[in-house]
Amino acid sequence: VVTPNLHELSQATQMSVKNQKEIISASRYLLSRHQFKFLVVTQSSKGMSVVCKNPKSKVVHLSAETREVYDVSGAGDTVVAVLAILLGAGYGIVDAARISNIAAGIVVEKAQTAVVFPYEILSRLRDRSLSFSTKKVMDLATIKENINLWREKGMKIGFTNGCFDLIHPGHIFLIEQAKKECDKLIVAINNDNSVRSIKGKSRPIQSDYSRASVLSALESVDAVIIFSEKTPFKLIKFIRPNVLVKGSDYKIGQVVGGNFVRKYGGRVKIVDLLSGFSSSKTISLLGS
């Protein structure tokens, strides 16, 4: 297997590689003149193509897996390294190329020449197998991985919490205001038993999974985590957000975890609420 970029492929063949048709033609030409079986042609932001020596085999093009480009240094080396490891472990060329493509996408999201860790690749593979919304619902281990990655990039982490039963425009407004205070917003929700202990036996109307799924679909939300305690204090200690956000129905001194966050230099932000919306009032009206 040889892994040229577009410039190297053009130099080796003295052929134009301005589009996919030309890339495939140049790749076939190079393969016909040498003993290697495959070419994996890396194409920067356009992804990569896997071309087989057998002209009857289908060319597989893989779109770039990058979410946010920070620094392209080392992307090609990452492809070579991960591809070699996976082929040595017995992976087929296409699967190995797919995972190498994911690894390169992770590396370019980091500053300068960086390494990619197995847990980062596994996290990306897991994300690909989940729907857009539910992949944002995380357990403690997964959310810690994401927080570490965000902090490596210098991003500020925001945190807000609530029951979010029967999600309404007031909830969405609060979340949108919270997102303005940070780069990445984590929303913590009480699980069903916790809501029941706070709101009464008839609540929640929506299960914790349903509430988490709806919140995950919001563009302003980057992660959702479900907690079982009455308050999110343990979770706040675990996450250590840069900013803790609550609605104006709270005073700063009433915000759970506020003193803790301020001790390490974080902020507590009280944001305006959208008046006229209440899950409890809606449920009461439906009951009557």
Nearest to 43 by CA among 11, 74, 12, 18: 18
CA-based R_g, the chain, Å? 25
Nearest to 38 by CA among 94, 118, 102: 94
Task: Quickly count: other Cβ atoms within 10 Å of residue 197's Cβ.
Answer: 14
Please confirm, yes or no, whether 249 is among the known catalytic residues. no
Tokens matching residue 236: 């706040």
| 8 A C-beta contact, residue 192 and residue 164 | no
For 124, counting Cβ atoms within 10 Å of its Cβ (0-12 exposed, 13-18 middle, 19+ buried), the class is middle
Task: Quickly count: other Cβ atoms within 10 Å of residue 61's Cβ.
Answer: 16
The conformation of residue 231, written as its DSSP 8-state character, comes to S
Backbone dihedral angles phi then psi of residue 276, each to the nearest 5 degrees: 95, 5
Question: What count of residues does the chain have?
Answer: 288
Question: Which entry of 71, 77, 183, 249 is annotated as an active-site residue?
Answer: 77
Tokens matching residue 235: 């979770």
Nearest to 150 by CA among 122, 124, 185: 185
Containing H/E element for 272? none
Edge to edge, the sheet with strand 38-42 lists 38-42, 48-52, 60-62
SS3 68: coil
Task: Quickly count: other Cβ atoms within 10 Å of residue 178's Cβ.
Answer: 24
Active-site residues, by number, are 77
